[in-house]
Structure 1
Amino acid sequence: MKKPMSIKPYTNEPFTNFTIEANRKALETAIAKTKNKLGQVYPLHIGAELIFTKAQITSINPGNVDEIIGYVSKADTNLAEKAMSVALETFESWKKVPAAERAAYLLKAAALMRARKHEFSALMILESGKNYVEADVDTAEAIDFIEFYAREMIRLSEINETHPLVKIPGENNQISYIPLGVGVIIPPWNFPLAICVGMTVSAVVAGNTVLLKPASTTPVIAHKFVALMQEAGLPPGVINYIPGSGAEVGDYLTTHPKTRFISFTGSKEIGLRINKLAADPVPGQIWIKRVIAEMGGKDGIVVDETADLDAAAAAIVASAFGFQGQKCSAGSRAIVVETVYDELVKKVVALTEGLQVGLPELNYASGPVIDKASYEKVLAYIEIGKQEGTLLTGGGKAEGNGYYIQPTIFGDVPAGAQIMQEEIFGPVLAIAKASDWRKAIEIYNDTEFGLTGSYFSTDQARIAEALDSMHCGNLYINRKCTGALVGVHPFGGFNMSGTDSKAGGYDYLLLLTQAKLTSRKM
């Protein structure tokens, strides 16, 4: 039996402390350098070929709509087909590369990204509207995903040594995890680096080749990641960068007979559409396409009368308004036992009114929503909320040359209200009152989603029951419901929140491989 490869244990990338002036100045310098490079034109990457197209996606700064981040070449179905052909050809050689060698490319990329951490964060601040901490956490998570999946692929490649099959006389039996084929990667704009990186590198380290179709609002940060992977030496054609229309390129590749899997993070509606299209076989297709989907959430925090109300209030505000509520894990609902309702709501409103809204590059606590469509959608939900609950703070637009909205709270919201049931994806919090803690959990569970949740209590018996009865993929006790760490909190949800794929977990790469058993008679 050979000895498994020795690799250092995985540890999470530390976050930057911006209370230290040198760290803050370093990011400010990176922002200034990034601003000097705005407005460039970016090509598609198909194999070794860089392709500039007449049709372009214009990426703008949501915090300053007069500022253009870049012009990104836009693929059509012909170019998507070209990328598919290249990915299929590349797969034949890439799948034969040993797992340790594939992982080595990732580990080199992680080192490069770590050395340029502020460069990536600066671009995200400008392209997606994140403040310093949110951008830094996003970059750190991207590094975490790269390193975690690299080490996890090495572990899977050594599974016969570390976890041998049951032995029987006269046979040598082994299991191996082989790649699937060509995958389509469709990441979201809200974690434009971390989730894009995690979805992509997990697929390629498993031996697949991919077609990466980034979100149209954040394609430049995705391009920067692809360029980094090329610098790390990844062979051409393993990652093919093809921004384009979801309705055109996305549907074309989802229904393509040679597409083996689709990895998607985004809205419930688009996720269901992808799942439906992928389920229908087309001529020339010889497999059942695999869909990995992380969709929406209507996440909530339940607070009972035994809870630490100051801690609960801080968690509610952080969960609801971090990155303007533009997280699938955002705590857009709070369900509070009536005996402490008024006291807790007062604390939550006070903390929320302390959030200043402004330009992300100046590190305001609350920035813009991502684009005009989101801006109009969130404002429409606020008008609905005014009919469904009591407006406690916010309730409209905020000043600034961008898509700024006041952090908004509605109280006394019925459990069945639209703003308690539908994902808003903006800085809007709905608070409901419950007669007791069991009723509060019942209200929490009254949703089609099941992604994240949190329960605040000091009663251990209640906590035990909440752990059993609150139905979601990621449940936290006495802490906020956002902020999952790679390898610490494998992330994915139930019901309409997706396939509970558990990104950053030890079984994630199994979704991107297929197990092959070989048996030899001795």
Structure 2
Amino acid sequence: MNTNTIVKPYANEPFTNFALEENVKAMQAAIAKVKGELGQDYPLYIGAEKVMTEAKITSINPGNVDEVIGRVSKADQALAEKAMNTALETFESWKKVSARERAEYLFKAAALMRARKHEFSALMILESGKNYVEADVDTAEAIDFIEFYAREMIRLSQINETQPLVKIPGENNQISYIPLGVGVVIPPWNFPLAICVGMTVSAVVSGNTVLLKPASTTPVIAHKFVALMEEVGLPAGVINFIPGSGAEVGDYLTTHPKTRFISFTGSKEIGLRINKLAADVAPGQIWIKRVIAEMGGKDGIVVDETADLDAAAAAIVASAFGFQGQKCSAGSRAIIVESVYDEVVEKVVAYTNKLQSGLPEENFAAGPVIDKASYDRVLDYIEIGKSEGTLLAGGGKAEGNGYYIQPTVFGDVSGKARLMQEEIFGPVLAIAKAKDWKQAIAMYNDTEFGLTGSYFSSDEDRIAEALETVHCGNLYINRKCTGALVGVHPFGGFNMSGTDSKAGGYDYLMLLTQAKLTSRKV
């Protein structure tokens, strides 16, 4: 492989402007192309072997439940063990490949994904229910992760030049970041390309081999990524693709003595279970397993009386209802100072009522939630909300042959209410009133989570205090609390939001490597 590529300065992938008719037509053409390929059967990838199993995971379109996206082969424990052995064997050669050469595979993958950007987005629109913008941003973030981590691995491999150790006479001291081993990668369904790609390529470019267990609701887009990595020539066995049951395959690999690390994004409950299982040392295990977990949030936007109220209301609605609120960064709480409460609520309700529900492939602002379990859970929370606050917008099912729910707003909600404390992961916004800006911040902090938050104010002294006291991993001032960019807003939260890792940040690859110091007398 050519390893002489000049590494240009990093820049984020631009988003597509769908205000331009030619871009809309290009996406429509990509959707038509992908629709012509639906309903296929997909194999597992275990080394160079593609394994078709009788048991399948059937992926359906949440916006049109009669449409099958594809049927993906399903691993059992025996196949998981075979994949583990393959990954272990491949690791012995992959760890010896230079950082520059590993990065080259990623640069090629980014270029190929960029050339097929709309095709990847179109598949996400159909499989996960994202509209054009949400899918385009997801694909752009995937490209960003690939290129950012490739550059980061090259930087880490040159750290003795960029961040030299203190020199002493008579010794030559160097530090290197070497890979950990075999990792289990368990990405979520809500960013089925970006987070899946980011979690996987960060591990791979660091010199590890992985067992990728995609989310069962979005396995086809994950397969498309794995196939792309095969196409760019990534050696077989570096990424092993093993969809399967969390209870059967996920637990088995989490407790496996040869698993070196588990990289997980998902719910608090599953993240805590993984952390607990990984903490037990299995017979034959010679390391403490590393767990990298991002586990969600109960994020909120605080608005005081000095804020730009129109901007605050628009940000609240965008944060609450982007991708139907199915983001760990979603602003499902708004806490508003009482002197402007009624005015902001009126604006929020007006913006919310403009959101139209419908098929993602037709680019409606509001689409479906991901599956029947989510649909039932969110509707249950809406019923709870009717006894905890005042229903201001939405409040029930929306029309369509899928899992459609009206964007729903509740006002006058207590800070201790379930709607203000529990992660709903759906299009439900709870609004609470605070007597002043200090109480509003205290109400924001009254949660077990700590992922994203936003504070709207024009008072610099208040902003300074908010920057210090609002306890979350990603705090934004006078903007929405969603939309982190790779390399710009390293992403990860506090408390029950995870292990404080920062995806898309300059220290992330250190979680997937171990520092080795060598000292030689001269």
Q: Please name the residue that 1:500 is paired with.
A: 500
Compute the displacement of 1:435 (Å).
0.1
Give the TM-score taking structure 1 as reference length: 0.99
Q: Please name the residue that 2:121 is paired with.
A: 121
Give the Cα–Cα distance (whole angstroms) in 2 for the partners of residues 434 and 443 of structure 1: 8
Q: Please name the residue that 1:207 is paired with.
A: 207
Q: Please name the residue that 1:298 is paired with.
A: 298
Q: Please name the residue that 2:86 is paired with.
A: 86
Give the Cα–Cα distance (whole angstroms) in 1 for the partners of residues 430 and 264 of structure 2: 28
1:214 alignment partner, SS class: coil
1:9 aligns with 2:33: no
Q: Please show how residues 439-454 of structure 1 align to structure 2 within 5 Å.
A: 439-454=439-454
Give the Cα–Cα distance (whole angstroms) in 2 for the partners of residues 17 and 105 of structure 1: 29
Compute the displacement of 1:286 (Å).
0.1
Q: Please name the residue that 1:145 is paired with.
A: 145
Deviations along 1:306-343, one digit per CA (max 9) or x if unpaired, are 00000000000000000000000000000000000000
1:323 alignment partner, SS class: helix
Give the Cα–Cα distance (whole angstroms) in 1 for the partners of residues 494 and 323 of structure 2: 23
Q: Please name the residue that 2:42 is paired with.
A: 42
2:430 alignment partner, SS class: strand
1:71 aligns with 2:54: no
Q: Please name the residue that 2:25 is paired with.
A: 25
Q: Please name the residue that 2:335 is paired with.
A: 335
Q: Please show how residues 154-165 of structure 1 align to structure 2 within 5 Å.
A: 154-165=154-165
Give the Cα–Cα distance (whole angstroms) in 2 for the partners of residues 64 and 148 of structure 1: 36
Compute the displacement of 1:6 (Å).
5.3
Q: Please name the residue that 2:198 is paired with.
A: 198
Give the Cα–Cα distance (whole angstroms) in 2 for the partners of residues 379 and 322 of structure 1: 18
1:426 aligns with 2:448: no
What code does the residue aligned with 1:237 have? G
Give the Cα–Cα distance (whole angstroms) in 2 for the partners of residues 37 and 440 of structure 1: 51
Flag structure 1 segments of 5+ consecutive residues without an equivalent: none
Give the Cα–Cα distance (whole angstroms) in 1 for the partners of residues 500 and 108 of structure 2: 30
Q: Please name the residue that 2:172 is paired with.
A: 172
Compute the displacement of 1:23 (Å).
0.8
2:297 alignment partner, SS class: coil
1:289 aligns with 2:309: no
2:226 alignment partner, SS class: helix
Give the Cα–Cα distance (whole angstroms) in 2 for the partners of residues 244 and 425 of structure 1: 23
1:231 aligns with 2:231: yes
2:497 alignment partner, SS class: coil
What code does the residue aligned with 2:389 have? G
Deviations along 1:280-309, one digit per CA (max 9) or x if unpaired, are 001010000000000010000000000000
2:321 alignment partner, SS class: helix
1:455 aligns with 2:484: no
Give the Cα–Cα distance (whole angstroms) in 2 for the partners of residues 94 and 446 of structure 1: 46
Give the Cα–Cα distance (whole angstroms) in 1 for the partners of residues 181 and 72 of structure 2: 27
2:316 alignment partner, SS class: helix
Give the Cα–Cα distance (whole angstroms) in 1 for the partners of residues 516 and 6 of structure 2: 25
What code does the residue aligned with 2:177 have? Y
What code does the residue aligned with 2:514 have? Q
1:107 alignment partner, SS class: helix
Give the Cα–Cα distance (whole angstroms) in 2 for the partners of residues 163 and 257 of structure 1: 35
Q: Please name the residue that 1:413 is paired with.
A: 413
What code does the residue aligned with 2:90 have? T
Flag structure 2 segments of 5+ consecutive residues without an equivalent: none
Give the TM-score taking structure 2 as reference length: 0.99
Compute the displacement of 1:5 (Å).
9.0
Give the Cα–Cα distance (whole angstroms) in 2 for the partners of residues 142 and 8 of structure 1: 18
Give the Cα–Cα distance (whole angstroms) in 2 for the partners of residues 144 and 256 of structure 1: 32
Give the Cα–Cα distance (whole angstroms) in 1 for the partners of residues 18 and 469 of structure 2: 39
Q: Please name the residue that 1:435 is paired with.
A: 435
Q: Please show how residues 344-355 of structure 1 align to structure 2 within 5 Å.
A: 344-355=344-355
2:185 alignment partner, SS class: strand
Give the Cα–Cα distance (whole angstroms) in 1 for the partners of residues 6 and 247 of structure 2: 46
1:332 alignment partner, SS class: strand
Taking only aligned residues, the RMSD between alpha carbons, in angstroms, comes to 0.7
Give the Cα–Cα distance (whole angstroms) in 1 for the partners of residues 233 and 501 of structure 2: 29
Give the Cα–Cα distance (whole angstroms) in 2 for the partners of residues 338 and 267 of structure 1: 33
Give the Cα–Cα distance (whole angstroms) in 1 for the partners of residues 108 and 7 of structure 2: 14
Q: Cα–Cα, structure 1 residues 151 and 41, in superposed 2: closer, same or farther, change >3 Å? A: same
What code does the residue aligned with 1:9 have? P
Q: Please name the residue that 1:264 is paired with.
A: 264
Structure 1: which 4+ aligned runs deviate by more than 4 Å?
Answer: none
1:496 alignment partner, SS class: helix
Q: Please name the residue that 1:247 is paired with.
A: 247
Deviations along 1:420-465, one digit per CA (max 9) or x if unpaired, are 0000000000000000000000000000000000000000000000
Give the Cα–Cα distance (whole angstroms) in 2 for the partners of residues 234 and 484 of structure 1: 29
Give the Cα–Cα distance (whole angstroms) in 2 for the partners of residues 419 and 314 of structure 1: 21
Compute the displacement of 1:214 (Å).
0.1
Q: Please name the residue that 1:511 is paired with.
A: 511
